[in-house]
Structures are given as structure tokens and as C-alpha cells.
Amino acid sequence: MKTNRIILLLCAVALAATSCAPFYKCGEAKPENMYFLTKRAMLLLEERDSLCYALEARENDVANLNQDVDGLNKDIEGLKESIREVEQKYNELMGEKLSESEQFNLALQQKTKELNEKERLLEEREKSLNELRQVIARQDSLTQRLNDVIRDALLGFKSDELSVEVKNGKVFVSMSDKLLFKSGSAAVEAKGKEALKVLADVLDKNRDIDILVEGHTDSIPIHTAVYRDNWDLSVARATSIVRILTSEYRIEPTRLTASGKGEYSPKASNSTPEGRAQNRRTEIILSPKLDEIMQLLKMDK
């Protein structure tokens, strides 16, 4: 299903492009001559790449579990070979003393018991693997559905004000300071509150979602009577948004985390005004609860 979404995404990119030049594939380096693409096409390519990375991470999880299963299969084969050797020795010594025969019989019983235990562990591991695959598929489906709902809800805002994308199994809603704050301030503007209200309405209907609010700034130093530096400002902005979501829009505080990254997690270079504008943002990161996956992993140990 993930592969089908990537193929559909590639088709959409092809329709949105203004040139017939070939696109780079998932995992390949991005070509430098991408100027022929529209902004929409570039966003679609970035979303496709994010989906590829998320798929690769899921496949790595499954591959690790498959390695465990392969190891158990090898152990079982080794035990079966040991049992064959014991049985052969047992048959050779049938004519010898009864005590010796009894000893081999006990050894055979012990090896058989070990084999049965390994087979039981293998069945449990395969069952856990299948359950984990099903949970991951449900989580991916939920993330994609949430992404679509939020995109539709926020269509009224400009692309330079906010963006929505899926990365690593999470939905990232990135809001620029142009939408939310005045320069050097952590007070949310009226239009920013409108966007937060739309987002809060979606989150109130999807309560199995954890919410991380991250404040980001550019690299230009700030020092005021209120804020010691950009780190202070980014934390204050994230906290302001958390307070609005909880006090005005009734989102449960237990679902929310406020974090400030300051200038240390830029999206673009701070050497240009355009890059600094991209870096001055607040990211609201939405994560489906992973309780079910974590429980399965604990049971598998």
C-alpha cells in the first residue's frame, strides 16, 4: 500500500511539473536543475521522499524481526540434528547396559523438550511479527488520514504562512512567524489564533494524537529585557501556543509538550533573508500514540 501511494505521488508530481524532464528516484540525490518544477511539485517530491524514508524505517523494523526468526529457525535445525545424533547413539548402545540406555533416553527427552520450547518461541515470535505489521499499517493509515484532514482544514492559509507534511510517521504542521508573531514577541496574532483554532478542532476529534510544539528562530541574536536569547524566545513562543490550545481551545494538557529549539534546527541557510524567513517558524508535530507498538515490543522480549 505504501508503494502504491508513492507511485500515485510520483504521478501527481509528473502532472504538476512544467517540463518533461525525468525526476530523481527515491533514495537518489536531488538534481541541481530542479528549477523547472512548480512549488507544488517540489512539495510533492519532498512528501514522496518523506514517505520513502518512513517506509524504509518500517522495513528495517520488519527486517530485524525476520532476522530473529531466522536465528530461531537455525537453532531448531541444530537441535533436530542433535536429536538425530542422540537417536543414532541410542540405537548403537541398545545392547549395552540398561543404565547407559537410560542415560541416552534422558538425553533424548531433554533435547526433545528443548526442541518443543524453541518451536513454541518461534510460533510466538511469528505471531508478534504479524501483529506488529498490522499495528504499523494502522498507524501509517492514521497518520496519512490525519495529514489529509489537516491539509483540507487549512486550505484557507497561504503556503508561505503554513505547510503540512508527513515525515517519519508523523504529521508536521509548520507555521511561520509571519502568521503567528510580531518580531521579538511571543504573543500570538489574531490570524495565528484562527489557524490554531482550525487545527484544534481537528485535534479535538482525533484524541489518540500526541502534540509536540517546537519553537524555532533564525540565527540573528536577540537580547531584550524579556528574552535573553533566541532560545528563550523560541521556548516562550512554543509555550504561548500550548497555553492557547489548552485554555482557549480545550485540548488536554496531557497531550501537549512545549519545546524550544532556538536557531539550532534550521530548515534553510541563515545567510539569506529568504532562508531566515523559513527558519522563523513554529512546528506542531502530531504523532499517533505508539502504546500498542511499545506493548508488542515489550511482550516480544
* Residue 154, in any domain of the structure: no
Same domain as 113, residue 188:
no
Same domain as 166, residue 125:
no
Q: Is the pLDDT score of 282 beyond 90?
A: yes
Closest CA relative to residue 251, chosen from 198, 295, 294: 198
Compute the CA torsion angle 142, 167, 214, 38 (nearest 10 deg): -110
Q: Quote the pLDDT of residue 39.
A: 74
Query: Which range has the worst mean pLDDT, 28-32, 202-206, 278-282?
Result: 28-32
- Amino acid code (one letter) for 199: L
Q: Is the pLDDT score of 204 beyond 80?
A: yes
pLDDT-based confidence at 193, cuts 50/70/90?
very high
* Residue 151, in any domain of the structure: no
Mean pLDDT, range 120-128, rounded to an integer = 80
How far is CA 263 from its chain centroid?
Answer: 23
Q: Is the pLDDT score of 172 beyond 90?
A: yes
Convert the pLDDT of each residue in 212-247 to its tens digit. 999 999 999 998 999 999 999 999 999 999 999 999
Angle of CA points 104, 106, 111, to nearest 5°: 95
* Residue 282, in any domain of the structure: yes
How large a percentage of the chain has pLDDT more than 90?
39
Q: Is the pLDDT score of 18 beyond 60?
A: no
The total of structural domains in the chain comes to 2
* Residue 240, in any domain of the structure: yes
Q: Where a domain ends, among 122, 145, 168?
A: 145
* Residue 186, in any domain of the structure: yes
Q: Quote the pLDDT of residue 294.
A: 46
Beta strands of the chain (E only): which ranges? 162-167, 170-176, 209-216, 256-262, 281-288
DSSP 100-111: HHHHHHHHHHHH
* Residue 211, in any domain of the structure: yes
**What range defines the domain where residue 15 resides?**
2-145
Same domain as 176, residue 132:
no
Q: What are the phi and psi torsion angles at 128 (to 5°)?
A: -65, -40
Instruction: Indicate the average pLDDT of the chain.
Output: 81
**What global pTM score does this model have?**
0.56
The alpha carbon dihedral of 255, 261, 265, 271 has a sign of: positive
CB neighbourhood size of 1 (10 A)? 9
Mean pLDDT, range 90-102, rounded to an integer = 66
